[in-house]
Amino acid sequence: MLLDTPLCDFGWKAPNFTLKNANGDGFTMSDYLGDKGLVIMFICNHCPYVKAIAARLAEDTKQLMAEGINVLAVMSNDYQSLDADSPANMQHFAKQYGFTFPYLVDEDQQVGQQYGAVCTPDFFGLNHLGELQYRGRLDDARLQDDPNRVPELVNAMRLIAKTGKGPEQQHASMGCSIKWR
């Protein structure tokens, strides 16, 4: 089911969490907050919307991380019912697209629920205090690869890193609904 993300609730305090990647290594959100902020994104392997942006997502997140803005990805889908999103397939998907950020399994779906994640992809841009400042889309290209695209997530996170505040104008991300148990 196609869904759009809600509007940004500026200042909402993101809950801390610890999740593991497919190898069993633990990652704690607060360790990645950093002084320039953090992107937390809810993605999965099977969603056509995530697949359509995956190469651009890898490129944009590498750029953000090179600028000192941290990135975590969370997979909250019920992979017991949807094998395409299993941890083994997460590893394959991350390698296929060259993801360099931690890609974490939300085994009990608690983090996705705490964040109010609704679809994949769903982007949360946090300032250095862990306050939500961006809840929008990756770019304006949507499902196409457009060389003239506006990298909205990158631009928003640069603004957040510089000022602590996100842009007033934001466009909802859209994608497949998260597959809850």
Each residue's pLDDT tens digit, 141-174: 978 888 899 999 999 999 999 999 999 999 999 9
Considering only CA atoms, which of 61, 4, 40 is closest in space to residue 115?
Answer: 40
Q: Is the model's pLDDT at 1 over the cut of 70?
A: no
pTM (two decimals): 0.96
Q: Is the model's pLDDT at 89 over the cut of 90?
A: yes
pLDDT in the model for residue 6: 86
Q: What is the pLDDT of residues 32-51, one digit of tens each?
A: 999 999 999 999 999 999 99
Counting residues of the chain whose pLDDT is more than 90, the rounded percentage is 93
Q: Is the model's pLDDT at 3 over the cut of 80?
A: no
DSSP H or E run through 88 = helix 87-97
3-class secondary structure for 109-163? CHHHHHHCCCEECEEEEECCCCEEEECCCCCCCCCCCCCCCCCHHHHHHHHHHHH
* DSSP string over 5-72: PPPP-TTPBPPP-EEEETTS-EEEHHHH-TTT-EEEEE--SS-HHHHHHHHHHHHHHHHHHHTT-EEE
DSSP 82: -
